[in-house]
Structure 1
Amino acid sequence: MHELSATELVAAYGQRRLSPVEVTQAVLDHIEQWEPQLQATWLLRPEQALAQARDAEARWQRGEPLGPLDGVPLSIKENIATRGDPLPAGTAAVDLQPAAADAPPAARVKESGAVVLCKTTMPDYGMLSSGLSSFHKLARNPWDLTRTPGGSSAGAGAATAAGYGPLHLGTDIGGSLRLPASWCGVFTLKPSLGRIPIDPPYMGRAAGPMTRTVADSALAMQVLSRPDARDSMSLPAQDIDWASVASVGPEHLRGVRFGLLLDAGCGLAVEPVVRAAVERAARQLEEAGAIVEPMLPFMSQAMLDGMDHFWRMRSLIDMRALRPEQRAKVLPYIRQWAESAAEFSGEHVFRGFSQFHATRVAAVSACARFDYVLSPVSPNMPAPADWPSPTNDPLRPLEHIGFTVPFNMSEQPAASINCGYDKGGLPIGLQIAGKRFDDLGVLKVSRAYEQVRGEQAPWPQPPRG
């Protein structure tokens, strides 16, 4: 039962073929097999989850489900507040205080009756594309336990691929949903800024679902996209037919115009196996009737470095607010990265900050000719599990986000969907980005591609013995 999608579970509950209690227990049993190796969860509370499942079962028996996710097991990334639980933000440096209220994504899924299994792990301050943390155990990639699941939604990506239930909530400010989705072979939507309200809001920061199927992410969007006044950047309430995604077929691709971006213009060079997988996906879309045209890079190293340097200064200010004994607990990689900003001048930081807007303008302009843009999610395959970043260099920390970060700053929706594997069986993600506010369109194109991409490898199973 842990393999069933959210859409399948909801249908089975409605027909009384399955109970939320037996499904939750099956998922918990599966997590128990995987978790000693994967280490993707925090605050895993089986009895609390089963109590929620019993409440959901009673509602389904009365024919009164609370919402589209009633009884569906899910996880929530550790930095999305859940009432009564602390927010360590992946680091041992912070004082643990219980959150006073559920953040908007957590509130919405709870209001819909979802069964919250656990929180999922993340690296220090969410500033690494790995599962390395000074607070949590090291999260690993279920396809290859020696490799990183990506980050910062590290535990969420690993949990999705490993079958810890069908739905997991993560966040993304530069690729933190899409990178683990790519390296773990799952689907995610980084929505338009404000489509899913979040608290606290921040420039480029978005929450989103991580699922094995596009339809499950569309189902989650029915709930997550509801407005919340706490997010000052949230979009106005809009009647979006998220359910229509489930009925999309390959014919939806006919005449759709895609740009194909194979060079980010900055950072790491695209590995040949990644390029080949994305080019193959583009050919499959063309065979289905789409129009695919090459794109020139629009990012620059100056843009990437400017954003990096601004974030270094932001993190340095945060760390200077810590007591010395707290600061000493932060991962050395993060400390070295942040402390490198100590000699930056005010002008340098201002010029770095200006690159956020320069990136936004460049991305919007480059995408204007196309309905959607195709690219790799990441230029590289996943690094060793204990590396904080693909370069393992705190002074070159963001060389792998050249394809993802521009769509945070331009506020455009962008998805990651699996498009192939390397010789060792590790998955490779295709990024599909759309125009601002066209979240539904990105989901529909992703659903159509899901049907033409060919057979997928079986999901990884827990190690035996």
Structure 2
Amino acid sequence: MALHELSAHELIAGYKAGEFSPVEVTQSVLGQIERWEPHLAATYLLRPEAALAQARAAEARWLKGEPCGALDGVPITIKDNIATQGDPTPLGTKAVTLLPAPADAPPAARVREAGAVIVCKTTMPDYGMLSSGLSTYHAIARNPWDTTRTPGGSSAGAATAAAADYGPLHLGTDIGGSIRLPAGWCGLVGLKPSLGRVPIDPPYMGRAAGPLTRTVDDAALLMQVLSRPDSRDCMALPPQAIDWSLAWRQDKSLAGVRIGLWLEAGCGLPVEPAIRAAVEHAAHLFEEHGAIVTLLKPIMTPELLSGLDHFWRMRSMLDIDALSSEARATVLPVIRDWAESARTMSGPDVFRAFNATHATRVATQAALQDFDYVLSPTAPVGPAPFDWASPTNDPLRGLEHIGFTVPFNMGEQPAISVNCGYADSASGDGKLWPIGLQIAGQRFDDLGVLQMAKAFEQLRGPQKDWPLRGL
């Protein structure tokens, strides 16, 4: 395997054994980016010399036998909206005034402290409000499995980079599915942790930062670093000593594990037959190994999803209204039209929309009451064309694909997407699409969710090779 294809665990083992150096690995990653980036548009602030300087410092530490942290010398990318000191944070839109960030946001600070080589930032759509890479600031990210399709979003560039072998570790954010949806459509592991497990700045209800990786082991390794405390997050959980290595060191027994199988979201787009079949097969594998699988009734309703949608429309309308007229004109039209539709909402309308966040939380907690974990599709449909804003490409129906993911943002439970199969492309071109299996758990059981995903990795059998390997 090429060095840029190796997992973070394999890189650390290679550094320890002196088989290769962080400089060689970073050069390999940069070569992969140079070759494929014109076709994929995953990167922002790609600075090869800065990355190589970090790699040389890591190499010197390894030569002394004194690595500074768990990720020393391992390449990583960081999503545009996670601030890095001295860099502008455009949030995917030309409407934002570009100013240098005064400090690293908590996730960026943690990986830097751990010695990771920050190769670049990654692209995202305007304000992170789309499940695609459609952006007025960045080029549009494309899916490495087929560049005519979207990787999903809003962690679009992060997912593209992970599936394209731009190194093993990638940081995204998720407020309704923005880590898990692109993970599902790109065949990746994408974890949305429990709210507050990974400190973030600025914090907001439902918003989480987490890993996008090619293996569960690497996601757990990154969580070992990201979950360290930071006082800037007023919603952070109390520090907890979690042995994240149990996700790769200790097999989880499935005997007697209570699993809810959730196949109908209760709102939005219907589940495509190939996706339903793949998720049912995954549930059967768990059941064969002792889990108790029970069909779960829909958690969501059209009214709940509509309430969340309208609350976010009003929030976005107020954000856009605060811009100058010149800046407002640069916002992506689909975002502007969606937000502007909130103009006629009354005070009671806004309250009812806001209350849907709490009602979704209550419904999600109630649905999980009798289960240890819930299995579902990550998304009900496959990836849309790369230049669509969402699977419907309709600004007023832009959230109809998040019915399976958004409840766990509002309910604050950990949820992960892991690949569970492949579907034929609707275009009939012979290409296959990855299918995401979502595994959600009780609040705070992030380690258990990782262990369930690791168990599934071992049960699911051989996978297709990553799309750019051998090309």
TM band (smaller chain)? over 0.9
1:204-259: per-residue Cα shift (whole Å, max 9, x none)? 0000011000000110111100000000000111100101111233x622221110
Task: Output the CA distance in 2 between the equivalents of 1:254 and 1:56.
Answer: 43
AA at the equivalent of 1:273 = A
Q: 1:120 aligns with which of 113, 122, 142?
A: 122
Match of 1:289 in 2: 290
Match of 2:199 in 1: 197
Match of 1:381 in 2: 382
Tell whether the 8 Å contact from 1:34 to 1:463 is kept in structure 2 after alignment: no
Match of 2:456 in 1: 449
Unaligned runs of 5+ in 1: none
Match of 2:418 in 1: 417
Task: Output the CA distance in 1 between the equivalents of 2:312 and 2:470.
Answer: 39
AA at the equivalent of 1:333 = V
Task: Output the CA distance in 2 between the equivalents of 1:254 and 1:447.
Answer: 15
Paired residue secondary structure (1:422)? strand
Is it true that 1:12 corresponds to 2:14 in the alignment? Answer: yes
Moved over 2 A (4+): none
Task: Output the CA distance in 2 between the equivalents of 1:332 and 1:188.
Answer: 29
Task: Output the CA distance in 2 between the equivalents of 1:255 and 1:4.
Answer: 35
AA at the equivalent of 2:166 = Y
Per mean C-alpha deviation after superposition, the further-off stretch among 430-439 and 252-261 is 252-261
Q: 2:437 aligns with which of 403, 408, 430?
A: 430
Task: Output the CA distance in 2 between the equivalents of 1:425 and 1:55.
Answer: 41
Match of 2:428 in 1: none
Task: Output the CA distance in 1 between the equivalents of 2:102 and 2:329.
Answer: 28
* Alignment of structure 1 residues 66-81 onto 2, 5 Å: 66-81=68-83
Tell whether the 8 Å contact from 1:92 to 1:135 is kept in structure 2 after alignment: yes
User: 1:463 deviation in Å?
Assistant: 9.7
Match of 1:460 in 2: 467
User: 1:115 deviation in Å?
Assistant: 0.1
How many correspondences in the alignment? 463
Task: Output the CA distance in 2 between the equivalents of 1:252 and 1:4.
Answer: 28
- Identical residues among aligned pairs (%): 68
TM-score by length of 1: 0.99
Match of 1:395 in 2: 396
AA at the equivalent of 1:96 = L
Is it true that 1:305 corresponds to 2:306 in the alignment? Answer: yes
Task: Output the CA distance in 2 between the equivalents of 1:236 and 1:313.
Answer: 32
1:274-296: per-residue Cα shift (whole Å, max 9, x none)? 10110111111112221111000
Tell whether the 8 Å contact from 1:182 to 1:377 is kept in structure 2 after alignment: yes
TM-score by length of 2: 0.97
Task: Output the CA distance in 2 between the equivalents of 1:462 and 1:148.
Answer: 19
User: 1:166 deviation in Å?
Assistant: 0.2
Paired residue secondary structure (1:340)? helix
Unaligned runs of 5+ in 2: 425-430
Paired residue secondary structure (2:344)? coil
Task: Output the CA distance in 1 between the equivalents of 2:459 and 2:407.
Answer: 27
Paired residue secondary structure (1:253)? coil
Q: 1:440 aligns with which of 439, 442, 447?
A: 447
Task: Output the CA distance in 1 between the equivalents of 2:250 and 2:393.
Answer: 42
Supply the RMSD in Å over aligned alpha carbons. 0.9
1:164-208: per-residue Cα shift (whole Å, max 9, x none)? 000000000000000000000000110000000000000000000
Q: 2:235 aligns with which of 226, 233, 252?
A: 233
Task: Output the CA distance in 2 between the equivalents of 1:248 and 1:154.
Answer: 32
Tell whether the 8 Å contact from 1:252 to 1:445 is kept in structure 2 after alignment: no
Task: Output the CA distance in 2 between the equivalents of 1:289 and 1:450.
Answer: 16
AA at the equivalent of 1:179 = L
Task: Output the CA distance in 2 between the equivalents of 1:43 and 1:448.
Answer: 37
Q: 2:144 aligns with which of 142, 145, 150?
A: 142
Tell whether the 8 Å contact from 1:248 to 1:447 is kept in structure 2 after alignment: no
Tell whether the 8 Å contact from 1:2 to 1:26 is kept in structure 2 after alignment: yes
AA at the equivalent of 1:286 = E
